[in-house]
Amino acid sequence: MKVEDLEKDFLALSEQERMAFLRKVLPVFCRDMTASHEKVSEMFLLFTDECGVEMKSMFATMAPLMGPRRGGCCG
């Protein structure tokens, strides 16, 4: 499937269906992206560059709460 087709199909989903999809995809994405420091940096930049100030603020707020032993989405 091409990225453009996936994007179009995703945007056609209801908000509830999008959340169900993300619940299935994000754990796999997180496990893969947290395999190395470089990938973590890439993931952080992807979210903050694409989502803007709101995402940067959310990460800054959540980071101290999650800590290295709290796991977050990635266990």
Q: Give the pLDDT score at 37.
A: 80
Backbone angles phi, psi at 12, to 5 degrees: -80, -15
CA–CA distance, 32 with 65 (Å, rounded to integer):
23
Alpha-carbon dihedral 16, 61, 63, 55, rounded to 10 degrees: 50
pTM of the predicted model, to two decimals? 0.55
d(C-alpha 20, C-alpha 35), whole Å: 24
Residue by residue, pLDDT tens for the chain (75 residues) are 799 999 999 999 999 999 999 999 888 887 877 778 888 778 778 777 777 777 667 666 666 666 555 555 554
**Residue 10 identity:** F
